[in-house]
Amino acid sequence: MDKEVFSLCFMCSVRCPIKVKVKDGHVDWIEGNPHVAGIDGSLCPRGSAGISMLYDDQRVQSPLIRVGERGSGNWRKASWEEAIDYVADRLKDIKDKTGAHSIALCERAQLATHVSKAFLKALGSPNYFSHDALCKGSVNTACRSLFGYTDAEVGIHYGETKHIVLYGRNIFESLAVKEVKTLMAALEKGARLTYIDPRVTVTASKAHRYWMIRPGTDLALNYALIHVILKERLYDAGFVSKWVHGVNELRDFVEHYTPEWAEKETGIPAGEIIALAREISKDRPSVIFHYGYRGASHQNEIYMRRSILMLNALMGSVEAKGGIFFKKGPGEAGGKAARKLVSQEFPKIDMPRFDKAGTKDFPLPDPNHGVAQVFPYAVLNEDPYPIKALIAYRMDPLMSIADTAQTKKALDKLDLIVTIDINYSDIAWYSDVILPESTYLERTDCIQQMNGLKPQMFLRKKAVEPRYDTLEGAIILKRIGEKLGIGHYFPYETMEDLVNWQLEGTGFTQTDFEKKGFVAYGSDQIFWDRENLPFKTPSKKIEFKSSLLENAGFESFPEYQPVKAPEDNDRFRLVVGRSAIHTHVSTQNVPYLNELESENKLWINTKKAGQLGIKNNALVEVASSCGKGRIKAFVTDFIHPEAVFMLHGFGHEAGRAKRSFNKGLSDALIQENVYDKIGGSPAYHDTFVSVKPL
């Protein structure tokens, strides 16, 4: 029987709306949802490989219980009944012996996140943590310090921008379909693109201005830009005087950060810095300094993110067309959001989190996401207490937390590791039990609440029956919960029940999604009145001088610390990033994607390579203080001589994922686990490596 289903892609976490055609019970075709403006049928390469992923027989096909050593790859097949009992028995044991807080759950946040959070809350453990901090912990903290809103509550209005500045935000290779299409349309209408990155990317090739910045010095550049903007009064004086708290302090602070000073630090000519400040201010407020992801990722990242956001505020581009805006929820359009399981009453939890986020030891990172990279330290040092079990749901701590050897050591101390995933990820391979999840094409999922200028709800709907013996994550957790006596927190038998429960009181039903795949709360874009902006900081203003930081004992404007250059000729700063073909660590084994890109290479500057005797495509050894490995060199003029670069997500260790097994090198293996102790992000670019030919 043929049918068409509207759903949501999940080849990456963006979750673009899709339309799926099913023929004789098989997925025949997937396209971007043509009803969604800005998608109009398009899919990115990963989304295009959805069918290739679905019909790949190298995914996990049934529950598995480890029989050999951890990581040895010896498994036995188990029924769901047996696997759930196995996990529940052990969790119960651990809970009884050492307390529920010794059970942690990590996750790449997704639609059923409210289920995993509810699971832990019901169990009595505070130890939920997500991938978020790894990606943007300090962005989140910076947003809260300035606006009182998290980064997830801020959006970017690409479509009407006149000038966008991207700091290593490789927007045309790290793809989200709508973002790419809207920005491309703005560029076609004449918007300017300034791109700053130690490496030439596809995005650099589309830019009107490209600066090969000295790696790590984005903050120096920003202080100089701010210096020029304040000195030459290029800012939006009306907006700044009404809404900014602390501009005078900022002016004093940047006094000595002149463009000439920044030129020495960044390698960007002073005249060009001045030119950008002058040029972009002509287009304000429809300008964007992009604050999210990548760019210099260092131990003082919080200040780099704050400086970017301050530039937006100076341009008056906050809550402005073509600038950045605050996302509007259903309430703003007179509607109600879908219910979440976490809104139930749970027993009170007295124990602190393992990462101490939100306590005086680590006050600023968002406890809703936790700080993933602290996990290995917490386990190894039993600080604040011993942790005994980890459930890894769609997140791979081995490949995404820096210093894999250390993470493994921590995992070795655990009595139980359970993975819920569709793939043989490295953490699945290192687990005691793998509970395979049905893919996004084989499952109905929880409601996607899409806040934005026009609040909407989307639904992921099952297109075909699961091909293997897999279940939905929300059902897996419910079934474990039932065995642990917390089943009543999961008031559903099927995903359809759960969605119906979520929709109760919203005025919408599942049938409303059938026509276009989504429902909208209103039809107009909602921008707040710029005379009455509801900032949620104590001063009700944008806090350049931040009470969040200062109350926690940190400075709002600490002196700039010069960025170290590599000390020896064979040493480099390791920089990592993404390509258009793969999603983080999860798609390297998908047949069509693997065919296009099966391994990563080490980008190294031509001159440096020449001096070290490194030839293009030849194997080199890369070593840091915590690990080393082999990788092929890619010799190019298009990377700064102080940096080497590799794509994230290669060098997999799971043997049954045959195409990606042992291909390329994992960045996490050689990155040191150091992080921004204020904002919460890992300092992925603070590792120096030595490179030698083999």
Partner 1 sequence: MSKYYLFQDTRTCIGCHACEIQCKSNKNLPRGAKPCQIIQVGPKMINGLPKMSFIFMPCYHCEDPWCVSTCPTGAMQKRSSDGIVFVDKELCVGCKTCISACPWGAPQWNPETGKVEKCDYCKDRLDAGLKPACVTLCTTGCLTFGLAEDMTQTRRVRHAEASASFENSSF
Binding site for ligand SF4 (CB under 6 A): 9, 11-12, 14-16, 43-44, 46-47, 175-177
Residue 581 vs 678, nearer CB to ligand SF4: 581
Q: How far is the CB of 43 from ligand SF4 (least distance, A)?
A: 5
Q: How far is the CB of 480 from ligand SF4 (least distance, A)?
A: 28
> Which of ligand SF4, partner 1, none does residue 398 bind (CB under 5 to 8 Å by kind)?
none
Q: How far is the CB of 241 from partner 1 (least distance, A)?
A: 34
Backbone φ and ψ for 313, nearest 5 degrees, come out as -65, -40
Polymer length of the chain: 694
> Which of ligand SF4, partner 1, none does residue 11 bind (CB under 5 to 8 Å by kind)?
ligand SF4
Contacts of 13 (CB under 8 A, 6+ apart): 108, 109, 110, 583
Q: How far is the CB of 653 from ligand SF4 (least distance, A)?
A: 24
SS3 state of residue 32 = strand
Q: How far is the CB of 597 from partner 1 (least distance, A)?
A: 9
User: How far is 626 from 59, CA to CA, in rounded Å?
Assistant: 31
Backbone φ and ψ for 538, nearest 5 degrees, come out as -55, -40
Letter for the amino acid at 683? A
For 139-163, the three-class secondary structure string (H helix, E strand, C coil) is HHHHHHHHHCCCHHHEEECHHHCCE
Which residues on adjacent β-strands are paired with residue 418?
A: 391, 433
Residue 175 vs 212, nearer CB to ligand SF4: 175
Question: Which residue, among 645, 631, 647, 650, has the nearest Cα to 587 in the 3D structure?
Answer: 650
> Which of ligand SF4, partner 1, none does residue 477 bind (CB under 5 to 8 Å by kind)?
none
Residue 211 vs 430, nearer CB to partner 1: 211
Is 79 exposed, middle or buried (CB count within 10 Å of its CB: 0-12, 13-18, 19+)?
A: exposed
User: How far is 80 from 63, CA to CA, in rounded Å?
Assistant: 6
> Which of ligand SF4, partner 1, none does residue 346 bind (CB under 5 to 8 Å by kind)?
none
> Which of partner 1, ligand SF4, none does residue 207 bind (CB under 5 to 8 Å by kind)?
partner 1
> Which of ligand SF4, partner 1, none does residue 16 bind (CB under 5 to 8 Å by kind)?
ligand SF4
DSSP string, 67-123: -SSTTS--EEE--HHHHHHHHHHHHHHHHHHH-GGGEEEEE---TTHHHHHHHHHHH
Letter for the amino acid at 150? T
Residue 49 vs 499, nearer CB to ligand SF4: 49
Return the CA Rg of the chain: 25
Q: How far is the CB of 585 from ligand SF4 (least distance, A)?
A: 14
Which residues on adjacent β-strands are paired with residue 629?
A: 622
Relative orientation angle of helices 473-483 and 495-503, to the nearest 10 degrees: 100
Question: CA end-to-end span of the chain, whole Å?
Answer: 57
Q: Residue with the closest Cβ to ligand SF4?
A: 47
DSSP string, 209-276: EEE-PPTT-HHHHHHHHHHHHHHTT-S-HHHHHHHEE-HHHHHHHHTT--HHHHHHHH---HHHHHHH
Pair 666, 651: CB distance under 8 Å: yes
> Which of ligand SF4, partner 1, none does residue 52 bind (CB under 5 to 8 Å by kind)?
partner 1
Residue 460 vs 578, nearer CB to partner 1: 578
Q: How far is the CB of 566 from partner 1 (least distance, A)?
A: 23
Residue 123 vs 177, nearer CB to partner 1: 177
Residue 12 vs 337, nearer CB to ligand SF4: 12
Q: How far is the CB of 475 from ligand SF4 (least distance, A)?
A: 23
Angle at 562 between CA 561 and CA 567, to 5 degrees: 130
Residue 25 vs 41, nearer CB to ligand SF4: 41
User: How far is 250 from 305, CA to CA, in rounded Å?
Assistant: 15
Residue 169 vs 640, nearer CB to ligand SF4: 169
Q: What six digits make up the tokens of 111?
A: 């639609």
Residue 19 vs 652, nearer CB to partner 1: 19
Q: How far is the CB of 46 from ligand SF4 (least distance, A)?
A: 4
> Which of ligand SF4, partner 1, none does residue 176 bind (CB under 5 to 8 Å by kind)?
ligand SF4
- Locus of tokens 């043989």: 424
Q: How far is the CB of 476 from partner 1 (least distance, A)?
A: 29
Angle at 561 between CA 557 and CA 566, to 5 degrees: 155
SS3 state of residue 602 = strand
384 upstream amide cis, omega within 30 of 0? yes
Q: How far is the CB of 116 from partner 1 (least distance, A)?
A: 31
> Which of ligand SF4, partner 1, none does residue 387 bind (CB under 5 to 8 Å by kind)?
none
Q: How far is the CB of 426 from ligand SF4 (least distance, A)?
A: 21
Residue 449 vs 598, nearer CB to partner 1: 598
> Which of ligand SF4, partner 1, none does residue 79 bind (CB under 5 to 8 Å by kind)?
none
Residue 14 vs 623, nearer CB to ligand SF4: 14
Binding region for partner 1 (CB under 8 A): 29, 31-32, 40-45, 47-49, 51-52, 172-173, 175, 177, 180-181, 184, 188, 200, 202, 204-210, 580-581, 591-593, 595-596, 638
> Which of ligand SF4, partner 1, none does residue 204 bind (CB under 5 to 8 Å by kind)?
partner 1
Q: How far is the CB of 581 from partner 1 (least distance, A)?
A: 7
Q: How far is the CB of 271 from ligand SF4 (least distance, A)?
A: 35
> Which of ligand SF4, partner 1, none does residue 15 bind (CB under 5 to 8 Å by kind)?
ligand SF4
SS3 state of residue 326 = strand
> Which of partner 1, ligand SF4, none does residue 12 bind (CB under 5 to 8 Å by kind)?
ligand SF4
Residue 47 vs 376, nearer CB to partner 1: 47
Q: How far is the CB of 13 from ligand SF4 (least distance, A)?
A: 7
> Which of partner 1, ligand SF4, none does residue 72 bind (CB under 5 to 8 Å by kind)?
none
> Which of partner 1, ligand SF4, none does residue 37 bind (CB under 5 to 8 Å by kind)?
none
Residue 175 vs 678, nearer CB to partner 1: 175
Q: What six digits make up the tokens of 119?
A: 């699971």
Contacts of 600 (CB under 8 A, 6+ apart): 631, 646, 647, 649, 650, 651, 664, 665
User: How far is 613 from 632, CA to CA, in rounded Å?
Assistant: 14
Pair 645, 653: CB distance under 8 Å: no
> Which of ligand SF4, partner 1, none does residue 9 bind (CB under 5 to 8 Å by kind)?
ligand SF4
Residue 91 vs 207, nearer CB to partner 1: 207
Residue 383 vs 637, nearer CB to partner 1: 637
Q: How far is the CB of 189 from partner 1 (least distance, A)?
A: 10
Is 73 exposed, middle or buried (CB count within 10 Å of its CB: 0-12, 13-18, 19+)?
A: middle
Contacts of 285 (CB under 8 A, 6+ apart): 236, 239, 315, 316, 317, 318, 320, 321, 322, 323
